[in-house]
Amino acid sequence: MADHSEPAGQQLLLCSWLITSAGEPPKPDQAVLVKGSVIADIGDQTSMQQRYPDATTVDLRGCAVSPGFVDAHRHCYGVLAHGIPTEHAPADFWAFLNEFWWTQVEDRLDHAMLRAAMDLACYDMIRSGVTTFFDCLEAPNAIPDGLFAQAEVAARWGIRGVLCFEATERVSRDNGELGLRENANFISACRTSESFPLLSGAMCHHTTFTCSDDFIRKAHRMAKELGVLLHFHCAEGTYEPEQALKRYGRRTIEHYDDLGILDETTLASQCVQLSPEEVRIVGERGIRVTTMPLSNCEVGGGIAPVPEMRRAGAVVGLGTDGYVANFFATLRGAFLIHKARLLDPGVMPAREVWQMATADGARALGMESLIGSLSIGKQADLIAIDLDLPTPVTAQNLFEQLILWRDAVDVHSVMVAGRWLKRNYLVLDADPEALLARAREAAARLWSVR
């Protein structure tokens, strides 16, 4: 596994195309100087080679170098539930949670399962070019310290991440309080201990249908006091807005607005079933949003109004939900699904999808000063994707070529904070057979608990 000493020396990365940010046109024949954990200079290859003759050259010609992907929402434990047998497909989103996800997955998780799942998830993320992830742990019987069990594994891989525990009053009030405390303890450990240099925490509650108003206000207050984001799942299907209408006479986002918790602290994931008025509120309050197009399909939740939220001014990051291991599948989902819904091939151009997967993911997680684009002084979190394509690559078509015709296997190299985690198509210090064996053993235990 990666050691955490400061990466030594200067590395000069030569690449055929450089994406500094999805907001800028890609440039050919560029070089990036990495010094320690940060980007120290960027320029054309010839002048950079003259300027830094003593730097170690890393030849990535034949590749596009880009900011690493930000998987802005996932549940790493979910890998153990892939293919879990169910007697019949759930009737709706409520049935999905109540008859399947809560009872057969979340409530059965223990620390050993969390560790095995996180190990495999980190390997999969690095393999497909994810350099930062946001994980939401939902395991009411694995606290206290479920977050710490996960963090010890993630820290060994050297990947950057935000970890939170989804506090819920679904099991009991005490369990909800324990969940909030789990987050507070983890946030403080990330700040005070050197064990998790690339990890941080967030506050998190589940939904309006599993948490009381007082509990939600408390979670928001704690997030403010601790200076972290408050994350929650929002309107993932029609169930939550329907319940909110019945209970409060207003929809989910309208209810949160009435509670006074929609501000720059707020990170709402999913946001699938929103009315036009809710979309307007999301944009006006400047809350952060993450979208998971493929898992929304799985649960029959619908298709989130992502182009509408972006137009309204919301920052929208892109996530896998842990439903797929390959981030490129999610890129393609985000690229295609809104075109079909809106009967318009012009929505969600490839460049905007790349932006959601990098800079906007970083902004959604409040990490834009560190990551999300490649510029001098930012962290050296980057990926190189090979361009062994049958058709020419141009500045105009690069994003589309990458999203549609590249895949996790084409990710040549991955760097986080100046350290290589994948080189020449191989994840470093990884034993995939052992990872799979541990995950299979954990999944067998999860599936057999009755």
Residues that bind Zn ion (CB under 5 A): 321
Shortest distance, CB of residue 180 to Zn ion, whole angstroms? Answer: 18
What minimum distance in Å lies between the beta carbon of 130 and Zn ion?
16
Give the distance from CA 68 to its chain's centroid: 11
Q: Which is nearer to Zn ion, 320 or 379 (CB)?
A: 320
Q: Which three-class secondary structure state does DSSP give residue 72?
A: strand
In angstroms, the CA 332 to CA 421 distance is 24
Least separation in angstroms between CB 232 and Zn ion: 10
Nearer to Zn ion, 236 or 381 (CB): 236
- Least Å distance, CB 78 to Zn ion, is 8
Dihedral, CA of residue 243, residue 248, residue 250 and residue 254, to nearest 10: -100
- By C-beta, is 73 or 378 nearer to Zn ion? 73
**Contact (Cβ atoms closer than 8 angstroms) between residue 294 and residue 230:** no
- Closest to Zn ion by CB, 298 vs 429, is 298
The encoded tokens of residue 400 equal 């589309």
Give the CB-nearest residue to Zn ion.
321
User: Which residues touch 239 (CB under 8 Å, ≥6 apart)?
Assistant: 92, 93, 94, 209
The least CB distance from residue 182 to Zn ion, in Å, is: 17
* Least distance to Zn ion, CB of residue 270, Å: 7
Closer Cβ to Zn ion, 321 or 410, answer by number: 321
Q: Which is nearer to Zn ion, 136 or 427 (CB)?
A: 136
Q: Report how far apart the first and last C-alpha atoms of the chain are (Å, whole number).
A: 35
Say which residues have a Cβ less than 8 Å from residue 67's Cβ, sequence separation at least 6: 19, 20, 21, 131, 358, 359, 362, 371, 372, 373, 374, 381, 382, 383
Could you give the CA distance from residue 418 to residue 10 in angstroms, rounded to a whole number? 10
Tokens of 31: 């070089």
Cβ nearer to Zn ion, comparing 119 with 321: 321
- Closest alpha carbon to 256 in 226, 235, 227: 235
In one letter, which amino acid is 67?
P
Task: For the CB of residue 412, give the shortest distance to Zn ion in the complex, in Å.
Answer: 30
